[in-house]
Amino acid sequence: MGSIEKIHEMLVSKECSCTELTKSYLDEIEKADGELNAYVNVTGEEALKTAEAVDRKIASGEEIGMLEGVPMTLKDNISTKGIETTCCSKILTGYKPIYNATVWETLAGENAVMLGKTNMDEFAMGSSCETSYFGGAMNPFDSNYVSGGSSGGVASAVGANIAAYGLGSDTGGSIRQPASFCGIVGLKPTYGAVSRYGLIAYASSLDQIGPITKSVEDAAIVFDAISKRDEKDSTSKGFVGGTYSKLNNDIKGMKIGIAKEYLEGVRDDVKEAVLKAADIYKSMGAEIVYFDLPELKFALPVYYIIACAEASSNLGRYDGIRFGYKTEHYNGTHDMVCRTRSEGFGEEVKRRILLGTYVLSAGYYDAYYKKAQNLRGTIVKAFNNAFEKCDVILAPTVPMTAFEKGHAVSDPIETYLTDICTVPVNIAGLPGVSVPCGFNAKGMPIGMQLIGKSFGEAEILNAAYKYQQAAAENFKDTKWGVKL
């Protein structure tokens, strides 16, 4: 594991040049992506220019940073100046931002090699990546199964070794769920730890950018690089102290909590894998604490009311006038806006806009949106009380393993229920990391998540790292991609 460190060592020792490395990744993308559909835009020319700059730096004897020259990818809702950024929606086809998202500005400043933009559910609305205008990304363990959503393209690319790491966004589990489905690591940071400037919004009070990686070490390296305070984002606080240097701390005596409600409605194989992980922690000297968290039953309705309400507001700007798709045939401005939005948005996005507009409308605002916000406060308090009993919370990431392609489209309501374990973290603004903890009978990965206190990334990543060391067999490679 630790592919970022390995690539860094290879570049510093001149075992290979950054240009050679980048070309090998681009070659593998060309071979694998026809089946996986992880990328929606491959930026080979830009990647090779950056690689050449890194090679010149190494040749002149200059030191390079840990992420310098490492090939990576970005979810297609993270703004990249002059490079098409579509949120995998017809309504944003052809849109090229005039500025960079802060996270990409930071990584570009460190000479990160961006291989391209990756597939996602349209405007991050979905749990399978299949609502994408470009078709869904497939699972690297078995391409008959979905990669998960909404950051499915990043997870597919990283899982298939056609990107060393990637950045996704997590509104209700959209980093952790695909990481779980694809057998890799996904970190959803504390709300405000990473700048959202340049992230095309779905639900502004829930959205958070974070890393998707092959290992816990890599997640810590990337998180430390992007978790800086940003004056362009009024909700940004940044993260002080770093996490990578704190990996491998002893967890003897750590209290790991398991809320009984997190295990309700979870498939037997997933529950068994999570409880087996608890036993591994126990063998390392941690204490397992069981407790009740009944407020979790409010999480899913609260999430869908707040997320859809904010989406209704955020997506109001797509009108065919300012940027993106515009209908060809219309009669007057009102008709043009109506037709543009009807033709430009997919069915899932329309469904959520309608729901959000309804809960914000006169006569229903108090009954739905206001009540959801009050219950959000109840959930925050419940987590605060839980952390008086334990240091971190252990839970399944998703109640099931990856489902076959087409399933989510045929039953969208059941698909919404896959978010039951992940949405509470976003509602409360807490950090959560998903790590592989086993496989089902068909060999598909199972993920568990560790949830921490606000700005407790160092604690959950350290606990995840200790588990990774103890259960390395769960961190399997797939048949795809560059072999380092």
Catalytic annotation, residues: 75, 150, 174
Q: Label residues 163-187 b or e (16+ Cβ within 10 Å = b).
A: bbbbbbbbbbbbbbbbbbbbbbbbb
Structure tokens at 400: 């099931």
Please tell me the distance from the alpha carbon of residue 63 to that of residue 102, in angstroms, as a whole number. 24
Instruction: Identify how many contiguous H helices and E strands the chain contains and give both numbers.
Output: 16, 11
CB atoms inside a 10 Å sphere around CB 197? 20
Beta strands in 214-304 (DSSP E): 255-259, 287-291
Query: Quick check: helix, strand or coil at residue 424?
Result: helix
- In sign, the C-alpha dihedral spanning 282, 462, 198, 175 is negative
Residues 6+ apart with CB under 8 A from 436: 180, 183, 184, 185, 445, 446, 447, 474, 475, 476
Cα 261 to Cα 379: distance, rounded to the nearest angstrom:
13
> Can you name the residues that pair with 166 across neighbouring β-strands?
73, 212
Can you spell out the DSSP letters for 146-208? B--SSSHHHHHHHHTTSSSEEEEE-SSSTTHHHHHHTTSEEEEPPTTTS--TTBPPS-TTT--
φ and ψ of 145, to 5 deg = -115, 155
Residue with tokens 């952790």: 176
Q: What is the torsional sign of CA 180, 186, 189, 195?
A: negative
- Sheet of strand 445-451: strand arrangement: 39-42, 113-118, 71-75, 165-169, 209-213, 185-188, 432-439, 445-451, 392-396, 255-259, 287-291
CA 67 – CA 330 distance, rounded (Å): 49
Angle between helical axes of 371-386 and 299-314 (0-180°, round to 10): 130
CA atoms of 72 and 165, how far apart (whole Å): 5
Look at the block and give the residue holding tokens 């990637």.
166
